[in-house]
Amino acid sequence: MAAPVHLTFFGGLGEIGRNCAALETQGRIVLLDCGQLFPDDMPGVDAVLPDFRWLLERADHLEACIVTHAHEDHIGGLPYLLRSLAERGTTLPIYGAPFTLGMVRGKLKAAGVSVPDLIPLDDHARLPIGPFDCEFLPVTHSTPSGLMTVFDTPQGRILHSSDFKLDPTPIDGRVTDLDRVREMAAEGGIRLLLADSTNAGSAGSSTSESMIGPVLRQVFDENEGRRIIIGAFSSHVHRIQQVADAAEATGRTLVVMGPSMVRNTTLARELGLLRISDKRLATDAELEDLDPSRTCIVCTGSQGEPRAALNLMGQGRHRFVTIGDGDTVVFSSHPIPGNEAAVARLHNALARRGARLVHSGQLGVHTTGHGKADELLALHDAADPDLFIPVHGEYAHLVAHHDLALSRGMGERRVLRCTDGDRVKLTGEGVSHAGRVPDGHVMVDESGRPVSDDLLEERRAMSGEGFVFVRVLVEGRKGRLAEPPVVESRGWVGAQRAGGLAWPGGRRSSRGAGGTVGRGKPRSARVGPSHPSRHRSSGVAPNWPETDVGARRRGPLNRFRQGDCPEVVAARWYRQNRWLTVLRARIPAPIRWNRRAPRKAAPREEPRELHGVLRRTLRRVRQRAGRRLYPGTARVGSPSFGAWPGPPSVDGETRFLVSYWWSGVS
């Protein structure tokens, strides 16, 4: 009896992104893609990943990873997975087309992750990978060298379409090989088909990429004498080629902007996938020496990404480009689902600066890289599979593809609809659900560190409601005040009301809603002449001087930023304001204290006076502002509290800076 084959879906089924699946038989696992999801309304989150716990628990059984093409939703999770595997003393060979592997290598190096074995795959390559004999067929997509994968398994052939379209006239002449699919269907049949569902709900067929070139040339001709700026995906090499052709035909110099755009065009030129004359290519630093009316800029940012080149231009913050009345901006892309609002904001920002906008709603300057309903039916007809699972798409896309398969005559028992976290079993009797694996969204910041749900909720609350922050300098074990309490508000109290929050006897200070709104009166005279006053500047975490050489570099703020501050357990680092709030810290005399939490080993006199000061301070803030204060954490309980070492006093007694913050809601 043939061994069963299990398929486990970690992402991509119910969303556009996080595409990742595992094929397993006889205890050996091959991973198919490892992508990320771009965050939406997630402050401080750089990427959303699949939950890799199930894979990491079986790290010794992982044989390889196959990446079908170079889009971030298929390769973006690799640095995080490989880093986690390296911590367990193992690695993972990666198979893919040369261009795809070049992109993977660049991502891993940028993330500081060791590059594992990268095994290049040619079109129609056949080789064993793990427990499966695999064959790779070319597909047309919006990035070069996409591959359809066919697995020979104990339960028959499994065909994974990858992202594909049926383009009869692709730019590189590389068509989706349905002829070979028909041959395999006739030779031994295809047991299970996994196919792209992104455009299953769109009738008809997609437009050929070769139809975009003439439209771009029309845009260039109609904007003679104006600078042309084109926003496109950095991985869309075929689109960049057509932009370069139009620029050369009209005598314009092409300027490539954006780190990923520069990196990908360089790689594509090295591999012979992109043909641009050196004399027609310039860098962004050379822009000021070029005639704007004879220039074409191709850049990233067509999806409204905050740090991309086009978005910086819209905000007036780009180093080399200032948008004005003489610019035409072409959006050679469609908004990815979920990015519509960001793209609309970018349109408005560019229009306010005087730019003329051209987008796919006006002219055919973009076409999809995913096959529509007629193209999906053509794949089904060629493969004629026994069983089918729709993959790659939001849930509505999966349902549309499910219904499309039924309309072709497949019975309900032959089509299985799955979602993220589903584990299915393929046997001689068919395919069926076989349990679940963890499928949560794992959020990470740009350093690769995880971002918890609680932390994300805190950030959302602070961004929407503002907050109040109380800072107190405390001397030694007795918790006596060494400095007046400082009350600061961010996005909570306007400048006209800030003066009313001043501590009794203290001086008023207001720099608007983001300024320091009150300072208290010293409660202790034990403040030496060496005590720095510069820490009082609002919004800047104090970089306390210390007694030894190099202290400025090892102050709490810089040490925290460099990851070398072991006494800090939890903190919030606000990069824009260069401001650090320590929520929990390990300190020699534990001032850590929470009003509703147990007082662990803290001397009796420490929290009493400190709590009284903070309580009186916040009471005055509430009274003067006429607004309510809510705890600054997502958990039920008291406000966040913490401490870190402050400057030494004259007699060397240790001081601690204590922070206390609330989220403010009117």
Asked whether residue 398 carries a pLDDT value surpassing 80, the answer given is yes
pLDDT of amino acid 510: 33
Q: Retrieve residue 653's tokens.
A: 């007694």
- Residue range 397-417: average pLDDT? 95
76 and 10 in one domain?
yes
474 and 426 in one domain?
no
Pairing of strands 253-257, 281-282: parallel
Total domains present in the chain: 3
Other beta carbons within 10 angstroms of residue 158's beta carbon come to 25
In a domain, 645, yes or no: yes
218 and 192 in one domain?
no
pLDDT of amino acid 506: 39
Asked whether residue 586 carries a pLDDT value surpassing 60, the answer given is no
Asked whether residue 330 carries a pLDDT value surpassing 60, the answer given is yes
Name the average pLDDT for the chain.
Answer: 78
275 and 138 in one domain?
no
Asked whether residue 481 carries a pLDDT value surpassing 90, the answer given is no
**499: nearest Cα among 623, 624, 622, 617:** 624
346 and 434 in one domain?
no
In a domain, 363, yes or no: no
DSSP conformation class of 15: B
Asked whether residue 276 carries a pLDDT value surpassing 80, the answer given is yes
Q: 620 or 656, which is more confident?
A: 620
Asked whether residue 36 carries a pLDDT value surpassing 60, the answer given is yes
Asked whether residue 167 carries a pLDDT value surpassing 60, the answer given is yes
Instruction: Output the CA torsion sign for 261, 264, 269, 275.
Output: negative
- Residue range 210-214: average pLDDT? 96
Domain that holds residue 538: 452-665
DSSP conformation class of 312: H
End-of-domain residue from the set 358, 393, 428: 358
- Residue range 274-291: average pLDDT? 91
Q: Which of 172-181, 215-224, 368-377, 456-465 has the lowest mean pLDDT?
A: 456-465
In a domain, 651, yes or no: yes
Asked whether residue 58 carries a pLDDT value surpassing 90, the answer given is yes
Taking the chain, what is the end-to-end CA distance rounded to the nearest angstrom? 68
pLDDT of amino acid 374: 98
pLDDT digits (tens, 9 = 90+) for 427-440: 999 999 999 999 88
Q: Judge whether 48 and 54 are in contact, CB under 8 Å.
A: no
142 and 69 in one domain?
yes
In a domain, 222, yes or no: yes
309 and 279 in one domain?
yes
d(CA 329, CA 297): 9
Q: Judge whether 107 and 1 are in contact, CB under 8 Å.
A: no
339 and 247 in one domain?
yes
Asked whether residue 35 carries a pLDDT value surpassing 50, the answer given is yes
Asked whether residue 517 carries a pLDDT value surpassing 70, the answer given is no
Q: Retrieve residue 31's tokens.
A: 């991973």
Asked whether residue 283 carries a pLDDT value surpassing 70, the answer given is yes
pLDDT of amino acid 439: 87
Q: Under 8 Å CB-to-CB from 652, ≥6 apart: which residues?
A: none
d(CA 345, CA 350): 9
Q: Judge whether 62 and 94 are in contact, CB under 8 Å.
A: no
In a domain, 162, yes or no: yes
130 and 113 in one domain?
yes
Asked whether residue 445 carries a pLDDT value surpassing 60, the answer given is yes
d(CA 134, CA 126): 6
397 and 503 in one domain?
no
Q: Give me the amino acid identity at 300.
A: T
pLDDT of amino acid 1: 75
d(CA 468, CA 624): 13
Q: 195 or 652, which is more confident?
A: 195
For 451, phi then psi, to 5°, come to -115, 120
Instruction: Output the CA torsion sign for 289, 292, 296, 300.
Output: positive
pLDDT of amino acid 488: 63
Q: Which of 35-49, 177-191, 334-348, 385-399 has the lowest mean pLDDT?
A: 35-49
pLDDT of amino acid 582: 42
Give DSSP secondary structure letters for 519-530.
Answer: E---S-S---TT
For 291, phi then psi, to 5°, come to -75, 120
187 and 148 in one domain?
yes
pLDDT digits (tens, 9 = 90+) for 550-580: 333 444 445 444 544 444 444 444 444 334 4
Q: Which of 290-294, 302-306, 500-504, 635-639 has the lowest mean pLDDT?
A: 635-639
In a domain, 232, yes or no: yes
End-of-domain residue from the set 444, 469, 502: 444
Q: Judge whether 482 and 498 are in contact, CB under 8 Å.
A: no
pLDDT of amino acid 88: 92
d(CA 191, CA 185): 9
Q: Retrieve residue 516's tokens.
A: 């320091």
- Residue range 309-318: average pLDDT? 94
CATH of the domain at 295: 3.40.50.10710
CA distances from 460 to 274, 454, 513, 514 (A): 43, 10, 18, 17
Instruction: Output the CA torsion sign for 129, 132, 135, 139.
Output: negative
Asked whether residue 489 carries a pLDDT value surpassing 80, the answer given is no
CATH of the domain at 27: 3.60.15.10
Q: Give me the amino acid identity at 107.
A: K
- Residue range 325-339: average pLDDT? 90
601 and 547 in one domain?
yes
pLDDT band at 468 (very low <50, low <70, confident <90, very high): low
End-of-domain residue from the set 338, 358, 378: 358
